[in-house]
Chain A
Amino acid sequence: MINLNGKATRVEKVLYDVSLLDFIRDQAMLKGTKFGCGQGFCGACTVHLDGIAQRACQLKMSEVRGHKVTTIEGLSALTDDEGLHPVQRAWIAEAVPQCGYCQPGQIMTAAALLAANPTPGDEEIRAGMSGNLCRCGTYSRIHRAVARAAQER
C-alpha cells in the first residue's frame, strides 16, 4: 500500500519494479505529474515523498511502499481551505507558465522548499529551484512566485 494524496492505494506485487512516475500516471491515472527526462535531471516528475520533494522517475514502487506520496493533484489538499495551495496562487498571480509542462514539478519543488524553509533568501530560492528545468525560460517569474508565496503564507 501507499498513501497517495491521502488515499490508501494498493500496489500489486507485479508493479514493484515499476517507477513511481509510471504508477502515478498509468495505474493511478493521475496525469499532472509529468515525464521529462526519465533520469532525474529535469524535475518535471517531482512529487512529495513524506513531504520531501523527490523525482518520481527515480523511485521504484518497492521503495515507496508504506510511504506517503503527494502529487500536484493532492497539493491543494495541504491548505486549510478548499482552494489552491499558496504556491499555486502565487504562480497564477505572477502569470508564470508559458507552455506549462514543467510547472507542476516546479510547484511541487517550491512547496517542499517553503515547507522546509518558510522564508528563503534569493540564493536559497535559486539553489532550491535549480533542479527543475524550464525550457520556456520562466525562471525569473518562478523566482518571484516563490518569494511571493513565502510572503503570503
Chain B
Amino acid sequence: MGKITGTTSFNRRKFLLNSGWLATGLTVLTACKSVIPVLPTTTNPENEDGLAWLQVLVDGRVRFFCPRMEMGQGAPIGLSQIVAEELNLDQAQIECVTPATNQSPPFKMTVGSESIAVFSEPVSLAAATLREYLRERAAATSGLPVGQLKDAPGGFEAAGRHFFGYGDLISEEAIVLHADDYSSVEQYFNAGKNPYNAVGKRWPSPDIENIVTGKVVYSRDVSLPGMLFGDVVRPPRFGATLIDAKVKAETALSNGQVLVIDVVNNLVGVVSDNPFMLADALEKIEPVWALPKDAPGLDKLDIARYRGNGDFEHTLIDNGNEALVGDAGVQSITANYTTSYMAHAAMEPGAAVASVRKSGVEIWCGCQDPYFIRGRVAALLQRDEGDVIIHPLRMGGGFGGRVLSQPAEEAALLSAHVGRPVRVQWNREAEFQHNYFQPKFSHAIDSGLDETGKIAYWHHDFVSSPIIFGLVPKGLASILDTFVADKGTARGAKPPYAIEHQRLRYSDIRTDTPTGAWRGLGAAPNTFAIESIMDELAFAAGKDPLAFRLAHLVGDGQHIAQLSGVLRQVGDLSGWGRSVAKDRGLGIACATYKDQTHVAVVADVAIDHSERQVNVVKLWCAQNSGLVINPDQVENQVLGNLVWGCGMALKEKLTVSDGIVNERNFDTYEILRHEEAPEVDIKLVDTMQAKPLAVGEAAFAPTVAAIANAAFAASGKRPRSLPFNYDSLYT
C-alpha cells in the first residue's frame, strides 16, 4: 500500500477547527479543488477529497461528514454503509453528519443519480486509507507486525487474543493524515465478498423514528432566537423588474413591521415581528413593476417550425440516409411526440432562515448545492464567500428543484436590511410560479422498415430548452447558448438500438420560462419518443414489441447484453405475451440511463369506459444498476420512479400564459394520488458487477413509455402527447 503519514501541518486548518477535528480524534485530509463561482458545483470528486470527510472519535466511532445532501433518496445511508464496510463498523458506530459549508471543502451538487455511483469510490478509499493507517498505529503500539493485526469489528485483533479498538489507537492529539498513494489501499466494499458486512444490508434511515414522530427539522421548521418573519411580493410574471414600491394609501404597516425595497436586487418585502400578521402586511404593499417586452414565445418549442429548413443547433448523430425516405422497399413510419412543462412539486415548499451580521452570514436551508447557494448569497450581499456559512437541512423532496434556494436569497436580503435573523417561507403558489421547470419537448421521428422488418433508417429531430444551463445568468447564457449543446436536454436521446442509418438533431431554445434540472432531465421525454416509435415500428412490422426490441439489440458489449437481459427479465416477470381481457393491454419499454443503468418496464393498463378513465393496474420493473449497497433504498427509488412515470404519462402538465404559470396548486397541477398508484413488482438484477451505478432517476424514463404503449395495446389508440387521459385518447 501507499505511504500514509501523520502530520499536523496542512492548509485546510479552518475546516478542521469548524468540525471539531482539532479538538479531538484523528482525521485524514489533503488539498481539495476550488469550484467555479456562480455556477452550480459541478466538479466530480477526486479520490483524495474523501479524506476530508472522515474522523475517528476517541470513543472508537467514526463521524462521516457526508458530501451528499439528503432529500429522501437515502444516499447518505448507502455511503455510510460503505464507510462501515471498509472500517468493520456497525450502524450505531457511524455518525453521519451533513456538513455546513465551513466544515468541508466544496463538493459536487447532489444531482444526477450520482451519489453512490460517483462518491462510493472516494468514500471507500478514504475509509480504507484510514483503516490501514490505524492498523499501522496498532502495529506501532503493540510492537506486532502489521500482518498479524487482523480486521475485527471496530478495530483489529492479533492472534485471536489482543483487541485494539479504534478508540484505543488515538488520543486527544490532533492528527491529520496525508496519504499520497491511496489507489493501492485494499477496498472491501466492492471486492465481491459475500456475505457483506454492511454493504447489501437493509440499513434503515437513522432518521426514521424522528420522521414518523415529526421531529426531523426541515427548512420550514428552523427557529432562531430573535428571529423575525419575512415575505416578499414577487414579480407578477417572469422577467418583471421592480421600479419602486410603497405602502398603499390609507393603510399603514404595524409597529414591528418594516418595508424593504431593494430595486437593485428586484426585491420588495416586509419583515414582521409577528408571523401571523405577515400576510396582511404584504397585502398593503403596492409595487410598481416594469413588465418585459414580448420574450421569445413558447410556440418556438414546436418541432414543425424547425423541420422545414433543417436548421438545428446541434447534431449528435449524422449518419442519416434521405435516399431511403420514400424508397419503394421501405415502409415509412413517422410520428411527432410532445411532453409538457412540469414542476418538481416537492411536498415541502421552499423556505430558509438567514442571519446576516457584520461578523458573518449564516443560512439554514435545504438545498442540493450548498456551495452554489453560498456563492450566490455572498455575491448578493457583496460579502466574501468565507463570511457565509450554509447549514444544509434535509429536504422535503428535491427532484432537481433545490439547486437554487430563492427563499435563502430573499431571507438574506431581508436580514441584511433589518440586522436580525429572518425566516422566509414560500407558499405553494410561490413554489409553482417562481421555481424553474422541466421544459416542454417536441419531437419528430421519421423512420422506415425494410422488407425483413428491420429498421432501415431513423431520423430524429427535437426541440426543447436548456436544462443544465437553464439557471445560468443572462449574460453568460447568450454565450453558452451559442457554443454549448445542453447535454441535459439531450439525455437519453440516442437510441440503444443497432440502426445503420441514424440522424439525431436538436435545438435547445431559451424562452422566458425558466427551465432547469428536473428528475432525469431529458431522459423521460426523449425515451418516451424513442420507445413509442419503437412500439409503432414493431406493430407496423407485425412483430412482438419485446422480440422487436431484442432483434435490434445486436452487437457485442456489456450494454447490449444487459439491456437485453432486463428486457427478458421483465418479460418473464410480467408474463409477457399472455392474452389479456378486452380493454386491457400490456406495454413494454426500456432504456439505459446515463450509459450505465439498464431498466425495462412492463405496464398493465385498463381502460374504464364507464368512468372514462385510463388506469395503470400494475407495473413490473427489472433494473440492472450494478452493486446494490442498500436494497431497501434502491427499491424505494425505483418505486418513486414508477409513480413519477404514471404522473408524467397521465397527469402532470404545467402551462404558462404571458409569463404566468396557470397551475398554482395541486387542484390544477395534479400529481399521482394513492388510489391511482399501481401495484408494483420490482426486480433488481443480481449482477456480480463490483460497481454501484445510477439509481435515483433510472426507472422513470421507460415507465412513461411503457404506460403509453400499454394504453395503445388496450385501446388501439396511440398517445403521442403527454399527459394523456381517456378523453384525449378517444377524441
Residues of A at the B interface (CB closer than 8 Å) are 14-15, 18, 22, 26-27, 29-39, 41-42, 44, 71-73, 75-76, 84, 88, 91-92, 95, 97-104, 107, 126-127, 129-130, 132-143
Cβ A126 vs Cβ B276 within 8 A: no
- By the criterion CB–CB under 8 Å, are A99 and B397 in contact? yes
- B residues 204-253 near A (Cβ < 8 Å) are 204-205, 207-209, 211-218, 220-221, 223
Given known contacts A34-B220, A126-B675, is B346 in contact with A135 (CB within 8 Å)? yes
Partner of A130, one of B220, B346, B425, B675: B675
Most chain A CB inside 10 Å of its own CB: which residue of B221, B346, B674: B674
8 Å CB contacts to A: which residues of B655-708? 665-667, 671-677, 679-680
- Interface-side segment among B66-74, B309-317, B581-589: B66-74
Q: A99-B348, A101-B347, A135-B399 are in contact. Are A92 and B209 (CB under 8 A)?
A: yes
On whether A100 and B276 interact (CB within 8 A), knowing A37-B428, A137-B643, the answer reads no
Name the A residues within 8 Å of B399 (CB-CB): 135
Which residue of the partner chain B has the closest CB to A39?
Answer: B665
Q: Given A39-B665, A140-B639, are A92 and B204 also a contact pair (CB < 8 Å)?
A: yes
Q: Is the CB of A88 within 8 A of B212?
A: yes
Interface pair A135/B636, CB less than 8 Å apart: no
Look across to chain B and name the residue whose beta carbon is closest to the beta carbon of A127. B675
**Alpha-carbon distance A130/B677, docked complex (angstroms):** 10
Determine whether the beta carbon of A130 is less than 8 Å from that of B214.
no
Interface string of B547-585 (1 = CB under 8 A from A): 000000000000000000000000000000000000000
- CB atoms of B275 and A32 under 8 A apart: no
Structural contact, A136 and B72, CB atoms closer than 8 A: yes
B640: which A residues are within 8 A, CB to CB? 98, 136-138
Q: Given the complex, which residues of A lie within 8 Å of B275, measured CB to CB?
A: 22, 26
B residues in contact with A127, CB < 8 Å: 675
> How far, in Å, is B273 (CB) from chain A's closest CB?
12
In the assembled complex, B644 has its CB within 8 A of some CB on chain A: yes
With A42-B666, A133-B666, A139-B674 as given contacts, are A34 and B348 in contact (CB-CB < 8 Å)? yes
What is the bound-complex CA distance between A100 and B632, given in angstroms?
15
Chain B at the A interface: mostly helix, strand, loop or mixed? loop
For residue B216, which residue of chain A has the nearest CB? Answer: A100
Closest chain-B Cβ to A71's Cβ sits at a distance in Å of: 7
Cβ of B487 within 8 Å of any chain A Cβ, yes or no, is no
Count A/B pairs, Cβ under 8 Å. Answer: 165
Q: A84-B212, A137-B644, A139-B643 are in contact. Are A99 and B395 (CB under 8 A)?
A: yes
| Contacting residues, chain A, for B398 (C-beta < 8 A) | 99
Besides A73-B213, A98-B72, A129-B675, 6 other A-B contacts (C-beta < 8 A)? A15-B276, A22-B275, A32-B214, A137-B639, A137-B672, A140-B677
Do A135 and B347 touch (CB < 8 A)? Answer: yes
Decide: A101 and B674 in contact? CB cutoff 8 A.
no
- CB of B349 within 8 Å of the partner chain: yes
- Report how far A142 CA is from B217 CA in the complex, Å: 22
Which residues in B have some Cβ–Cβ distance to A below 8 Å?
71-74, 202, 204-205, 207-209, 211-218, 220-221, 223, 275-276, 344-349, 394-399, 425, 427-428, 632, 636-637, 639-644, 665-667, 671-677, 679-680
In this complex, the member of B73, B344, B640, B680 whose beta carbon has the largest number of chain A beta carbons within 10 angstroms is B640
Cβ contact within 8 Å between A36 and B428: yes
Which of A26, A36, A72, A137 gathers the greatest number of chain B CB atoms within 10 Å? Answer: A137
Question: How far does the alpha carbon of A133 sit from the alpha carbon of B675 in the complex, in Å?
Answer: 10
Partner of B207, one of A22, A100, A139: A100
Chain A residues near B220: list those with CB within 8 A: 31, 34-35
Q: Give Cα A135 to B209, complex, Å.
A: 20
- Give chain B residues whose Cβ lies under 8 Å from the Cβ of A133: 347, 666, 671, 673
B276 pairs with A138, CB closer than 8 A = no
A99, B72: Cβ atoms closer than 8 Å: yes
Q: Are B665 and A41 in contact (CB under 8 A)?
A: yes
Whether B636 contacts A104 by the Cβ 8 Å rule is no
Given contacts A99-B72, A104-B214, contact A35 B349 (CB under 8 A): yes
Given A26-B276, A98-B72, A98-B74, check contact A139 B677 (CB 8 Å): yes
Q: In whole Å, how far is B229's beta carbon from the nearest beta carbon of chain A? A: 8
On whether the beta carbons of B673 and A130 are closer than 8 Å, the reply is yes
- Residues from chain A with a CB closer than 8 A to the CB of B72 are 97-100, 136
Among A76, A107, A129, point to the contact of B674 (Cβ < 8 A).
Answer: A129
B667 touches A137 (CB 8 A): no
Pick the contact of A134: B209, B212, B347 (CB < 8 A).
Answer: B347
**Residues of the A chain whose Cβ atoms lie less than 8 Å from the Cβ of B674:** 126, 129-130, 132, 134, 139, 142-143
Question: When the two chains form their complex, are residues B636 and A138 in contact, meaning their CB atoms are under 8 A apart?
Answer: yes
Contact yes or no, A98 B73, CB < 8 A: yes
Are B666 and A37 interface neighbours, CB within 8 A?
A: yes
Contact between chains at B214 and A72 (CB < 8 Å):
yes
Q: Which of B207, B208, B221, B667 contacts A41 (CB 8 A)?
A: B667
Q: Within the complex, what minimum Cβ distance (angstroms) separates B644 from chain A?
A: 6
Least CB distance, B677 to chain A, in whole angstroms: 4
Chain B residues within an 8 Å CB radius of A39: 428, 665-667
